[in-house]
Copies of this chain bind each other. A is one copy, B any other.
Amino acid sequence: MSHNTFGHLFRVTTWGESHGPALGCVVDGCPPGLKLTAEDLQIWLDRRRPGAGKFVTQRQEPDAVRILSGVFEDERTGGPVTTGTPISLMIENVDQRSKDYSEIARAFRPGHADYAYFAKYGVRDYRGGGRSSARETAARVAAGGVARKVLGEGVTIRAALVQIGPHAVDRARWDWNEIEKNPFWCPDAAMVDVWERHLEATRKAGSSTGAIVEVEATGVPAGWGAPLYAKLDAELAAALMSINAAKGVEIGEGFASAALSGEDNADEMRAGNDGPIFLSNHAGGVLGGISTGQPVVARVAFKPTSSILTPRRSVDESGAEIELRTKGRHDPCVGIRAAPVVEAMTACVLADAFLRHRGQIG
């Protein structure tokens, strides 16, 4: 990960601001010969799209992705296929509502990146958060669609929300089928109403709330990842922490492992037909930075959206003290829309680990 690029053999470079003409990414290093159309990517973008529910921003963006390079079709390829050259993906910004930004043009919104960008660069595109906007994650989701093609059918990656505000799901009631039935990616049917009431109250109060997303990748064979500084869990940590508003990442048992004894934490093994069978998965599918063949499990904590209607104390570029409330079209819980982004980043990390493993080991 460096600058606006992540990955080593499967590399993604993203670009674009919230209110510029477009945003996009270049996916480089993709293996050739994979069937790929814009529709294959659009299905993932549609899951992330704002405007899909009342608890996400009301900005209306079709998020239609175009493939500008790296895919070719002729009579022999049986449809468009990747050529091994860079895949340029572009999403035009359509609904940059012509708005008066004069109020925040020089103000630093508390909890936002405003001050940090200004301190670093001396100039910032304040319209809609500029580069720090969650709009950028559309490019990640598109790239994740390509990564899924690289991984193939054998690897399944899916995310769920496991906590919104103080309300955590009951893991005993976990049902992956539920996540498609509610707007919160909630795997616990009984929790949906609780979250809905909590979000409704949050929205009415002009406030916001945090969340925790869990992602699981099944079908990852043992051996991916590379000690020591390309450990699969370290790569995941970086990729997931790079998502807007992320403040924590954990693998498997994560922070809870601190309270465990060695007996309780170690995953015992028994003989299986195809490698060992693990009797538990406290490790979250990664040991020594290398996948074990068990499901890779990670969680990401998202802070509450900083854009709230409640006035907060701050300063502006001149150093003057101000009171600021952030109007506009904001998610009360940015974690909800983060679920597809968490999936996409996980897919990209795994695709890269797969190619690197194949490179070194064959």
Contacts and interface: CB of A to CB of B under 8 A. Distances in A.
A84 interface: yes
Nearest to A17: B69
Contact of A305 (B87, B262, B290): B262
A108 B265 contact: no
B210 A258 contact: yes
B276 A132 contact: no
A265 B1 contact: no
A287 interface: yes
A86 interface: yes
Identical copies in the complex = 4
A228 B305 contact: no
Contacts of A246: 233
Contacts of A112: 287-288
Interface stretch (A41-49, A174-182, A187-195, A249-257): A249-257
A132 B225 CA distance: 13
A269 B110 contact: yes
Interface string A72-99: 1010010001011111101000000000
Contact of A223 (B120, B236, B252, B289): B120
Interface in A21-38: 21-24, 26, 28-33
Closest 7 CB pairs of A and B: A113-B288, A359-B359, A248-B250, A111-B266, A208-B262, A116-B290, A119-B222
23 contacts: A15-B68, A16-B69, A30-B360, A31-B362, A32-B120, A33-B121, A69-B131, A110-B266, A111-B267, A116-B222, A116-B225, A120-B361, A121-B361, A131-B227, A131-B228, A248-B248, A248-B255, A262-B304, A265-B304, A269-B315, A271-B320, A276-B314, A276-B319
